[in-house]
Chains A and B, each alone.
Chain A
Amino acid sequence: MILTIAGKELKTLFASPLAWVLLCFVQIIIAFVFLKQLDTFFQIQPQLASMPNAPGATDVIAAPMFGIAAALFLFAVPILAMRLIAEERRNQTMVLLMSAPVSMTEIVLGKFLGLTAFFVGVVALATLMPLSLAGATQLDYGLVASLAAGLVLLAAAFVAVSLYVSCLTVHPVAAAVGAFALLMGMLLMGDTAGDGLRSRGWGVAAGLAQVLSPMKNFEAFRKGMIDSYAISCLVLLTALFLVLAIRHLDAQRLRG
């Protein structure tokens, strides 16, 4: 039943021009960064060759690409996530799901999986770009895998956060802006609050801040590090907002 709902989300997503426009836009930007970094790599290659322990092609080309992709997801995810609940409620199509014999958990998980699958596709397309260099140079496949995995986890966390905000209002645009603001707030907080709290010795609070700052956790993946702490922080954040969304929708049925 979760897969039915996920499938429905993907189908209606691709039936709307919004998804295609965003997909196209994100790909163009990522491709532009890819080409620019490739150019940079050619220019600095002679210097790199003389350096001991120099960064490889993957470090120079793929890591910045995925960083840009993460920044693009910051607004692409909220825009597509606003459709999930807010727009369905506005169009009064949510009733179809609510009257069907499916639980609120299945509805939320289905919607989450559907949109996450879309972004897995975006990440896959982005990953193909550095992989296209495989014949020309020695690629660091470990780093590429770590970048792709990190970006998928990051996208999932963004989707969960945006899905929750999408439950809060029936105005799709308000949902998109709200989700963007929340993600942006998490980004800023992750940069400042986490370090500040840790320097004061408030370990637990700093840990909490780390959970709430997905971008900071993604940094580890960009260094090619599969950090179990960063992974659990991202998974925890995703789970937290999914539970919030389910609880909120259940409460809404009670409140009316």
Chain B
Amino acid sequence: MDYAVETTMPDPLAATISAQGLTRRFGAHVAVNDLALELKRGEVLGLLGPNGAGKTTTMQMLTGNLAPSAGTVRICGIDLQDDPVAAKARVGYLPEVPPLYRELTVNEYLTLAAKLHRVPRAKRAEAVGAARQRCGLSDVGGKLIGALSKGYQQRVGIAQAIVHAPDVVILDEPTVGLDPNQIREIRSLIRELGGAHSVILSTHILPEVEAVCDRVQILHHGRIVYNDTIAALKGVESGSTVVLGLRRPPSLGELAALPGVAKAEALEPQHFSIQFATGANADDALVKQAAARDWGLFLLKPAQTSLEDVFVNLTRREDTA
């Protein structure tokens, strides 16, 4: 299903959205500074950052709501500045506040969104039906949007962003104000969207990013300070570092001297962080030693860098620097 104005052959590896040198100034204040971003088909990108980091400004520029002071945005190879109509037809956007007309019914509203996004008349009813079904709105088609609960309104906002089957879906804090069940539903919907569309998601909720995103970019003071895949984030140190809990711990020097151990650090009196030498996998040796020397081993688990650690590290360090 591709309703876009011009249809080019989709190249599965080509970037659906790419931004280069994106900069936005408001007077003397630089909200977004030289931001680069690229997304492949089927990727879900999490855009993170503290309040005021420039997430929303970035999203407004990517969707053509705000003109960048410098830099370019290309959507499926179409420059957003040169040919905004063709480019915008390939983007679906849910802003922070969903742009809902409270006085319309869900069906009327989604039909309007489909018309505005140039879905051909013959396919309109089908597109609206599909969007309603995907967002769990099948039962409320005839209801006024103003009469719906916040969770349902949020879903209507998402339905509006995907009704024209865009190549890129941009969601600004889509799970704000929802209850835990609704959050789970929206997350699985986002995962599902990631199959056929590229999704950019901004959020404050870090576990959300770990749950649904393939890649993370952390924004701080308008700059990208981190850009990596979730898999890399989780894989970087897991396996090579473990957390060890001992009831009767030996001295640190003794731990560090064990075969295959590169570094030992005390986290708490009974907890140690053990870093293995590259390539070595000394878990087994560690357990044997602990048993033989009666250290009282009660915990051995891989240390995972959580996204939270990375986030806090990157966004705090710069503040104090």
Contact = CB atoms under 8 A, between A and B. Distances in A.
Contacts of A1: 116, 118
A101 B88 contact: yes
Interface in B72-115: 84-89, 91, 93, 95, 97, 99-101, 103-104, 108, 112-113, 115
B116 A100 contact: yes
A50 to B, nearest CB: 57
Contacts of A96: 99, 113, 116, 160
A228 interface: no
Contact of B101 (A4, A12, A98, A100): A12
B26 A100 contact: no
Contacts of A103: 84-85
Contact of B99 (A5, A93, A253, A256): A93
A100 B24 contact: no
B206 interface: no
Nearest to B65: A98
A205 interface: no
A36 interface: no
Interface in A223-256: 253-254, 256
Contacts of A254: 67
A11 to B, nearest CB: 7
Interface in A1-43: 1, 4-5, 8, 11-12, 15-16
B64 A15 contact: no
Nearest to B83: A101
Contacts of A47: none
A92 interface: yes
Contact of A101 (B26, B65, B99, B117): B117
Nearest to B96: A92
B143 to A, nearest CB: 14
Interface string B48-62: 000000000100000
Contacts of B97: 92
A138 interface: no
Interface string A83-107: 0000000011111111111110000
B66 A256 contact: yes
B241 interface: no
A100 B93 CA distance: 9
B85 A95 contact: no
Contacts of B99: 91-96
B117 A256 contact: no
B262 to A, nearest CB: 51
A97 B65 CA distance: 9
A92 B95 contact: yes
B95 to A, nearest CB: 5
B5 interface: yes
A11 B116 contact: no
A101 B118 CA distance: 8
A254 B68 CA distance: 7
Contacts of A12: 101, 103-104
A254 B64 CA distance: 10
A88 to B, nearest CB: 9
B74 to A, nearest CB: 16
A256 B93 CA distance: 18
B63 interface: yes
B100 A93 contact: yes
Contact of A100 (B67, B86, B88): B88
A253 B103 contact: no
Nearest to A93: B99
A101 B101 contact: no
Contact of A253 (B66, B108, B118): B66
10 contacts: A1-B116, A4-B112, A11-B104, A92-B95, A98-B65, A101-B5, A101-B86, A101-B88, A253-B67, A256-B57
Interface pairs A-B: 6 shortest CB-CB: A15-B103, A100-B116, A96-B99, A101-B89, A101-B88, A92-B97
